[in-house]
Amino acid sequence: MFIPGNNPGMMQDAHVYAPDSIMLDLEDSVTLEEKDAARLLVYNALQSVDYGEIEMVVRINPLGSPYGHKDVQAAVKAGAHVIRMPKTETAEEVVELEKAIEQIETSLGCVGRTKIMAAIESAQGVMNAFAIATASKRMMGIALGAEDYCANLKTSRSKEGAELLYARQTIVVAARAAGIDALDTVYSDLNDMDSFRAELRLIKQLGFDGKSIINPRQIEIVNEIFAPTQKEIEKACAILAGIKEAQKRGSGVIAVDGKMVDRPVVMRAQRCIDLAIASGIITKEDVYE
Amino acid sequence: MNKIANRVKQIEAMAQKTGFPVYSEGKNPLVRGKIATPRKELQQASPKLVSLEEAIRQSGLKDGMTISFHHHFRSGDKVINMVVDKLAEMGFKHLHLAASSLIDVHEPLIAHIRNGIISRISTSGLRGALGAAISHGLMDEPVIFRSHGGRAAAIANGELHIDVAFLGAPSCDSLGNACGYAQGENVKSICGSLGYAKVDAQYADKVVIITDSLMPYPNTPNSISERDVDFVVEVDSIGDAAKISSGAIRDSKNPRDLLLAQTAAKVVINGGYFQNGFSIQTGTGGASLAVVKFIREKMIEKNIKASFALGGITTHMVKLHEEGLIERLIDVQSFDRGAAESLINNRMHKEVSANEYASALEIGSAVHWLDMVILSALEVDVNFNANVLVGSDGVIRGAIGGHPDTAADAALSIIVCPLLRGRIPCVVDEVTTLITPGTSVDVIVTDYGVAVNPNRPEIAERLKVAHVNVVQIHDLKEKARKIIGDADPLPFGERTVGIVMSRDGSVMDIVRNIKDK
């Protein structure tokens, strides 16, 4: 969930809506005059607000701008889990960010703590998606930024999203090939939840791991679409229980409902349970008790 | 020979024996003789139909007496200011103003208090400049605050004796049949239920109805019967129609309201009382209205119907009633136009007096039969006490309403309250003013988790099973303190400016004057 880095009220209690990840933004939602104040606010929010188990991301300004390196410094020092790099176009940019992070982490004695997410927001970025996704071992995901991408493509966003199809598929394939997450762009019309639902169904089918949102009201709908059904959860539970049982017996292969369960099936089952927990349908205790 | 003349002696003997007088044509002045005037003409000359000044004069009102008003016209009300202006003009002094509540529009009372026309006030609440002025010590006598049920009980048992009630009514005939709407007639404004006014009409020594829509006799149905009415005053306007009944309050899109509502709905659904035939009351805040929406979905899904919804009725509740999800509506106050119109259109929408609604002393009052109530609060504390009257700045800015009545009598009372309002913590060590005692509050829903009164462990268990985030009230308070820090103590003075009455007629708390910093 995107939270403007200049809004202390929202930073203060964004976590009560239980998003999976909160992205405190220092880039587009903050005006030039407020860049320094917002950086200070974000730093202090990360230091003082109890965000619990929510993944904390900071979107920095481009490294080439006068603010980018200061943003990295503040975010890494404050202990952000992930730094989101905007408008990423090449692998070299990722490497530059990695170096900056590593330098700060070295001085703090916490090398390897901060992960990187790259936002791909241009045609060049899409063409380089795989190179970007594999540019650093810190990469945890790549995300589509549709507004800038559409401007760059000389088109505009439509409800159906035909203009984004290539970028979306490229990003998902690149992320999968690199073994990291693929995250979809925001949907900004808060008064059209039906179209938001339709877009979620589309990106889920394309293979995305999640969607960026701009308002807590969107969380429930994302969970609704991404959440597994009760039947899927039951099946996943049966598979995981079967595997546990099989491991006890020293066997790696089992059958559930007469079908052989191999590694990809187990991984899908685990993913299903993770999603069910993330969506609040079941709790950890339900599965692991 | 069986003629009357032959029975005169026996008639006289029996009259003497029973103590009744002997019949004589026209002898009893209370019985009207035959009048041949067409009745339409006669109604227009009803002896009850007088000017406001005449009504005041004939009512026998004297300095120091108690006058009463209702607040069904909300911020559209012109009646209180109109009547008190007239009383000032006529030279009355030291009156006791007993209103069911007072709000922003009653700011002109400040001048009347300064001029000695009003020297005592009883009300459910105070808002705006009037509340602030009284908090700063405007009055010599403390204001007596009562809940809606507490006021009705005090009027019924004589603790609060009303000499003259001035009751605005959207429709009334010349004999005093008054109503908060009108069946089949166009009236200037409608307020729906006249539940609070019904008590005053029943118990006041003299009752003056003030209306701007004088109806042909008989004005049916009526909330207040001509039997209880002494005078009818026709005026140009009793208030601003748009403010007397506003359009339906729009659904909140505020994410915090929705989160609170969703959580409150989970408590309602999983608290143990959500079953066929349940009964419920909710407020009118954004979160309360959204709760109705979430509960509705679950009622349809689980095929559960409510027997009644109580209280201030809103369009949201009316919709559920019209969908068949709530069998009956019990209405002491109609909060918006949709609710007021529903009284006209829906036979199972019942208007009740404040006594029938929430009196602690009436076995049949509806709150005694209420499963669940969803309330809000300005503050709650670690002992589950709630304050809905005095702001965190020490200034009187709210109203008790039916808060302590419904909390005490509902089987499950739920208070919905954000942990913080801006930089003001809403879960504190001790409430600024005690209005609803913690023993009657079962669950507090905040955006940071749900606290359950230790008296109700079974509810905590049910909620945990349903994956509701149940937390300790002390942890909530600590969380708020950690974010906001410790506030300086409020600069209260030594004078008492308000007395909070419990619904049982005892003194619960006092409000002290606040000093300017």
Which residues in A lie closer than 8 A to residue B253 (C-beta atoms)? 190, 217
Which of A226, A250, A278 is at the close of a domain?
A226
CB contact under 8 A, A216 and B447: no
Query: Nearest to residue B211, comparing CAs of B234, B182, B189, B227?
Result: B234
Query: Is B292 in contact with B309 (CB distance < 8 Å)?
Result: no
Instruction: Please state, in angstroms and rounded to a whole number, the distance separating the CA atoms of residues B314 and B339.
Output: 5
The enclosing H or E element of B450 equals strand B449-452
- Indicate whether A13 and A109 sit together in one domain: yes
Give me the residue from A49, A50, A216 closest to B255, CB to CB: A216
- Indicate whether A115 and A185 sit together in one domain: yes
Instruction: Please state, in angstroms and rounded to a whole number, the distance separating the CA atoms of residues B101 and B127.
Output: 9
Which residues 141-170 in chain A show a CB within 8 A of chain B? Answer: none
pLDDT at position B284:
76
Which residues in B lie closer than 8 A to residue A9 (C-beta atoms)? 422
Q: What is the DSSP track for B408-425?
A: HHSSEEEEE--SEETTEE
Query: Is A93 in contact with A63 (CB distance < 8 Å)?
Result: yes
Query: Is B397 in contact with B353 (CB distance < 8 Å)?
Result: no
- Indicate whether A49 and A163 sit together in one domain: yes
The more confident residue out of A274 and B402 is: B402
Instruction: Please state, in angstroms and rounded to a whole number, the distance separating the CA atoms of residues A237 and A261.
Output: 13
pLDDT at position A288:
59
Domain boundaries, chain B: 43-244, 255-490
Which residues in B lie closer than 8 A to residue A13 (C-beta atoms)? 256, 419-420, 447-448
Instruction: Please state, in angstroms and rounded to a whole number, the distance separating the CA atoms of residues B466 and A149.
Output: 43
Which residues in B lie closer than 8 A to residue A10 (C-beta atoms)? none
How far away is chain B from the Cα of A272, in angstroms, using its nearest Cα?
Answer: 19
- Indicate whether A252 and A202 sit together in one domain: no
How far away is chain A from the Cα of B256, in angstroms, using its nearest Cα?
Answer: 8
Q: What is the mean pLDDT of residues A187-199?
A: 93
How far away is chain B from the Cα of A20, in angstroms, using its nearest Cα?
Answer: 16
How far away is chain A from the Cα of B410, in angstroms, using its nearest Cα?
Answer: 29
Which residues in A lie closer than 8 A to residue B260 (C-beta atoms)? none
Which residues in A lie closer than 8 A to residue B422 (C-beta atoms)? 9
Which chain A residue has its CA at the smallest distance from B479's CA?
A: A50
Instruction: Please state, in angstroms and rounded to a whole number, the distance separating the CA atoms of residues A181 and A55.
Output: 14
- Indicate whether A214 and A236 sit together in one domain: no
**Disruptive mutation site among B254, B256, B258, B259 for chain A (greatest number of A CBs within 10 Å):** B259
- Indicate whether A144 and A48 sit together in one domain: yes
Give me the tens of pLDDT residue by residue for chain B, a chain 517 residues long: 688 888 999 999 999 999 999 998 888 888 888 999 999 888 888 999 999 999 999 999 999 999 999 999 999 999 999 999 999 999 999 999 999 999 999 999 999 999 999 999 999 999 999 999 999 999 999 999 999 999 999 999 999 999 999 999 999 999 999 999 998 778 999 999 999 999 999 999 999 999 999 999 999 999 999 999 999 999 999 999 999 888 777 778 889 999 999 999 999 999 999 999 999 999 877 788 889 999 999 999 999 999 999 989 999 999 999 999 999 999 999 999 999 999 999 999 999 999 999 999 999 999 999 999 999 999 999 999 999 999 989 999 999 999 999 999 999 999 999 999 988 999 999 999 999 999 999 999 999 999 999 999 999 999 999 999 999 999 999 999 998 898 889 999 999 999 999 999 999 999 999 997 6
pLDDT at position A287:
67
Q: Kindly tell me if the per-residue pLDDT of A74 is higher than 70.
A: yes
- Indicate whether A178 and A270 sit together in one domain: no
B447 shares contact with chain A (CB less than 8 Å):
yes
- Indicate whether A53 and A41 sit together in one domain: yes
- Indicate whether A221 and A241 sit together in one domain: no
CB contact under 8 A, A217 and B255: yes
How far away is chain A from the Cα of B251, in angstroms, using its nearest Cα?
Answer: 13
Backbone φ, ψ for residue A169 (5° rounding): -65, -40
Give me the residue from A17, A50, A280 closest to B259, CB to CB: A17
Instruction: Please state, in angstroms and rounded to a whole number, the distance separating the CA atoms of residues B16 and B485.
Output: 84
CB contact under 8 A, B448 and A16: yes
Task: Give ipTM to 2 decimals.
Answer: 0.79
Counting one residue from chain A and one from chain B, the pairs whose CB atoms sit within 8 A come to 26
Would you tell me which CATH number, out of the four given (3.40.50.300, 3.40.190.80, 2.40.50.100, 3.40.1080.10), belongs to the domain B43-244? 3.40.1080.10
A192 shares contact with chain B (CB less than 8 Å):
no
Which chain B residue has its CA at the smallest distance from A12's CA?
A: B483
- Indicate whether A107 and A208 sit together in one domain: yes
**Disruptive mutation site among A2, A12, A13, A221 for chain B (greatest number of B CBs within 10 Å):** A13
- Tallying the residues shown for chain A, one arrives at 289
Beta-carbon count within 10 A of A222 CB:
23
B255 shares contact with chain A (CB less than 8 Å):
yes
Same fold: B43-244 with B255-490: yes
CA B21 to chain centre: 46
Which of A226, A253, A270 is at the close of a domain?
A226
Backbone φ, ψ for residue A25 (5° rounding): -100, 125
Instruction: Please state, in angstroms and rounded to a whole number, the distance separating the CA atoms of residues B252 and B250.
Output: 6
Which residues in B lie closer than 8 A to residue A190 (C-beta atoms)? 253
CB contact under 8 A, B467 and A217: no
- Indicate whether A204 and A263 sit together in one domain: no
Query: Is B342 in contact with B313 (CB distance < 8 Å)?
Result: yes
- Two tokens at B424? 């003001």
pLDDT at position A77:
97
CATH code of the domain containing A146: 3.20.20.60
Which of A226, A254, A273 is at the close of a domain?
A226
One-letter identity of residue B485: G
Beta-carbon count within 10 A of B436 CB:
30
Query: Is B317 in contact with B331 (CB distance < 8 Å)?
Result: no
Number of structural domains found in chain A: 2
pLDDT at position A259:
75
pLDDT at position B247:
77
Q: Kindly tell me if the per-residue pLDDT of A25 is higher than 80.
A: yes
Average pLDDT over chain A, rounded to whole? 92
Domain B255-490 sits in CATH at: 3.40.1080.10
How far away is chain A from the Cα of B255, in angstroms, using its nearest Cα?
Answer: 6
Instruction: Please state, in angstroms and rounded to a whole number, the distance separating the CA atoms of residues B53 and B410.
Output: 44
pLDDT tens digits, A249-273: 777 667 777 777 777 788 888 888 8
Domain that includes residue A63, residue range? 2-226
CB contact under 8 A, B447 and A283: no
Query: Nearest to residue B243, comparing CAs of B484, B75, B359?
Result: B75
Instruction: Please state, in angstroms and rounded to a whole number, the distance separating the CA atoms of residues A23 and A35.
Output: 16
pLDDT at position A19:
92
